[in-house]
Structure 1
Amino acid sequence: MYWLACELHTHTYHSDGRQTLSELAEGSAKLGFECIALTDHNTLSGIEDREKVEREWGVTIIPGMEWTTFHGHMLTLGLQEFVDWRTSEPHNIYKGISEVHQKAGLVGMAHPYRIGSPICTGCYWEYEIQNWDDIDYIEVWSGTFPSIKTDNLRAFSLWTDRLNEGCRIAATSGRDWHAQVATEEPVSVTYLGLRADKPNEMKQIAQDAVHALRHGSAVVTIGPLVTMEVESASSRFGIGDSVPAPGSDHNERFGGYWGHVKTVFSNRQGLWELPEQKFALKIIGNAGMVAERSVGAEDEVYRMNIPEGGLLWVRAELWGTVHGARALIAFTNAIYFNEGRGNE
């Protein structure tokens, strides 16, 4: 599997950004991003020079748009044509979501708990969601040094609550990048897991990235890359996959699972920094803490036991000290279990 370093929330002069697409791509390349999503407010016009800019800077560009309304901002990714956002109402956003899905696009809640009017008109999510399976992902980390911000902590809890309810929904980060301004704060990355080696064609990379996010094959970090697999009696399952129920044809009951959690501290070398320390590597699930161990700053795979019984999902988290604060540094998306869901 190839883990593609992505920034999934950006803006240019075509909306309220203060950068051209070329300047955005150049800045992305300097930060080690291989792929960006252009999500200007309510327009796709900025994507016009996509292929030229991709050749210029070697960065794949996913076409997207941020639906910007008085009742919330919704990210749409992977669309090649405009889907009208103006018919959305607080009690009915489903027509728009359905049209995005019909055109093979994804929808995500952007910064759902960011303060709204008059500071940021419509930034706070007010749309009623009756079926969470209609939402592909939640942007749980927004801005720089996202893991310590109160609105992001609420968004992260929202995602966890949906997982606990049995929803299969992805989590991402997004800088909401408007200008080429230097920052000393940590910058987050969403890694998307491509099922095969990285393709040579930019268009194929973009399609594979959208497919990975649709599957939930994603990792979010402000430092090292952390990935995970779950080993059952007969197979291994990756991020976004579903582990068959014990006793099924594919997974005989054997008293538990093994989580194989990999930490890669050599990723994007020189583009992020953490103080020397011991980190807490955790496996979290619907029942709370599943496993924990202390780890160093190494490229290593750790084998951790996951007891079976009532599991809906698990994810890996890496905790440590960042700029003097105890913070979540990286987390994987969920691996799901059918044992807590009955037969599906």
Structure 2
Amino acid sequence: MKWLACELHTHTLHSDGSQTLEELAAGAANLGFDAIALTDHNTMSGLIGKEDLERKYGLRIIPGMEWTTFYGHMVTIGLNAFADWRQVDRDRIDEGIEAVHRLGGIAGLAHPFRIGSPACTGCFWEYEIGNWSAVDYIEVWSGTFPSIQTNNRRAFDLWTQKLNEGYRIAATSGRDWHAQVETEEPISVTYLGIGDNAVEGSGNSISLPIHEETLIQALREGRASVTIGPLLTFKLNAGGADYPIGSTVPSVVESPEAAAEQPIQVKLKLDFSVRAGLWSLPTQVCRLKLYSNRGEELSLEVPFSSDGQMMQLEAQLRESAPDIPRRWIRSELWGTVRGAYVRIAFTNAIYFEEGGYPR
């Protein structure tokens, strides 16, 4: 699987940004992104000329729009036409999400716990969602150095809560990029996983044309990993088959004892070579963790050094007559960044079917 570096929340001077689309594309290319989503507030007019810029800078520009209302901001990407945001009130956001889906797009909550009115009109999410199954993703990291921000921690906790409730919702980051200004703060990246044959070239390099629907489908299916540093991915091997991020491990009704005899193999990978020279971490021993709806299931020490190597680790998950069936599992990398102990990276979930124990 190839992992493409994406920035999924950007603005130009067609809304409240102070950059042209070309300035945005050039800046994204310089930061090692393979794709960006243009999500101007309540307009898609900024996409004019995107095809020429895609060819010039070698990155995909995904059409999108940030619904900006009194009750919340909703990032919509991948639409083939304008979805009218003006008819949706506080208890009818489900209708808006349905309209986005009809037009081929996906919808996510933008910075749901950022301070709201009057400091930022509608930035705090107040919509009443009736059908959480229709929500495609939650922007759990917003802004630069997102892992230290309290509002992002609340968004991350909301995502975890919904996973525990049985919903399959992806998690992303978004810089909410408005201007070409340099920052020394860590920048987050959402990596989307696509099939090896989806693009030409080798490694993680992108070669246009790659259809934007390929990236949208990856996010729709939760094939995503988020980081302010190395790329973290993992997969499970159960019953002789591999299950990558976003997939579902099938179940079979059998005893816990039988499942314990065939433990699930966990294969974790850290790629320190991605976007070389565009991020840094101090030399340290990090902590690689696995979390599920049961809580922390595994914790491993991982030495980090800036030699740009790939690191692969393996572990096992064993059943021991659990009172709580495992519904999902994700991996996280923890360490020190600028003196703070934070999440450096996290993956989206691998899911488990209900009604039995993993094969």
Q: TM-score, normalised by structure 2?
A: 0.92
- After superposition, the Cα gap between the structure-2 partners of 1:203 and 1:128, relative to the gap in structure 1 and judged at 3 Å, is farther
Q: Which residue of 2 aligns with 1:119?
A: 119
Question: Using the alignment, how far apart are the partners of 1:244 and 1:80 within structure 2?
Answer: 34
Q: Which residue of 2 aligns with 1:278?
A: 285
Q: Which residue of 1 aligns with 2:247?
A: 241
SS in 1 for 2:27: helix
Deviation for aligned residue 1:196: 2.5
Higher deviation after alignment, 167-176 or 331-340: 331-340
Q: Which residue of 2 aligns with 1:32?
A: 32
Contact 1:280–1:318, Cα closer than 8 Å, also in 2: yes
Q: Which residue of 1 aligns with 2:318?
A: 307
SS in 1 for 2:284: coil
Return the letter of the residue paired with 1:278.
V
Q: Which residue of 2 aligns with 1:224?
A: 230
SS in 2 for 1:36: strand
Return the letter of the residue paired with 1:283.
L
**Cα deviation code 1:238-266 (max 9, x no counterpart):** 00000001458xxx844431111100111
Task: Give 5+ residue unaligned stretches, structure 2.
Answer: 201-206
Q: Does 1:258 align with 2:265?
A: yes
Question: Using the alignment, how far apart are the partners of 2:294 and 2:228 within structure 1?
Answer: 26
Q: Which residue of 2 aligns with 1:318?
A: 333
Return the letter of the residue paired with 1:258.
Q
Q: Which residue of 2 aligns with 1:193?
A: 193
Higher deviation after alignment, 105-114 or 198-207: 198-207
Contact 2:236–2:265, Cα closer than 8 Å, also in 1: yes
Identical aligned residues as a percent = 55
Question: Using the alignment, how far apart are the partners of 2:152 and 2:92 within structure 1?
Answer: 25
Return the letter of the residue paired with 1:211.
Q
Contact 1:290–1:307, Cα closer than 8 Å, also in 2: no
Contact 2:198–2:210, Cα closer than 8 Å, also in 1: no
Deviation for aligned residue 1:59: 1.3
Q: Which residue of 2 aligns with 1:160?
A: 160
Higher deviation after alignment, 299-308 or 110-119: 299-308
Deviation for aligned residue 1:307: 2.3
Higher deviation after alignment, 297-306 or 53-62: 297-306
Question: Using the alignment, how far apart are the partners of 1:39 and 1:341 within structure 2?
Answer: 42
> In the alignment, which of 274, 283, 298 is matched to residue 267 of structure 1?
274
Question: Using the alignment, how far apart are the partners of 2:131 and 2:218 within structure 1?
Answer: 22
Return the letter of the residue paired with 1:11.
H
Higher deviation after alignment, 190-199 or 42-51: 190-199
Higher deviation after alignment, 87-96 or 323-332: 87-96
Q: TM-score, normalised by structure 1?
A: 0.95
Alignment of 1:120-199 (within 5 A): 120-199=120-199
Return the letter of the residue paired with 2:25.
A
Deviation for aligned residue 1:341: 7.6
**Cα deviation code 1:278-309 (max 9, x no counterpart):** 11000111000111110123411111212234
Contact 2:199–2:209, Cα closer than 8 Å, also in 1: no
Contact 1:6–1:33, Cα closer than 8 Å, also in 2: yes
**Cα deviation code 1:40-80 (max 9, x no counterpart):** 00011111111011111111100000000000000111012
- After superposition, the Cα gap between the structure-2 partners of 1:256 and 1:24, relative to the gap in structure 1 and judged at 3 Å, is same
SS in 2 for 1:278: strand
**Cα deviation code 1:209-237 (max 9, x no counterpart):** 00000000000000000001011022110
Deviation for aligned residue 1:94: 1.6
Higher deviation after alignment, 324-333 or 254-263: 254-263
**Cα deviation code 1:172-210 (max 9, x no counterpart):** 000000000100100000000002334257463411100
Contact 1:246–1:339, Cα closer than 8 Å, also in 2: no
> In the alignment, which of 314, 328, 337 is matched to residue 352 of structure 2?
337
Higher deviation after alignment, 331-340 or 226-235: 331-340
- After superposition, the Cα gap between the structure-2 partners of 1:261 and 1:136, relative to the gap in structure 1 and judged at 3 Å, is same
Contact 2:222–2:349, Cα closer than 8 Å, also in 1: yes
Contact 2:5–2:189, Cα closer than 8 Å, also in 1: yes
Task: Give 5+ residue unaligned stretches, structure 1.
Answer: none
Question: Using the alignment, how far apart are the partners of 2:189 and 2:277 within structure 1?
Answer: 14
Contact 1:138–1:170, Cα closer than 8 Å, also in 2: yes
**Cα deviation code 1:80-137 (max 9, x no counterpart):** 2101000111111122111111111100000000000111100000000121111000
Q: Which residue of 1 aligns with 2:300?
A: 293
Question: Using the alignment, how far apart are the partners of 1:199 and 1:82 within structure 2?
Answer: 28
SS in 2 for 1:318: strand
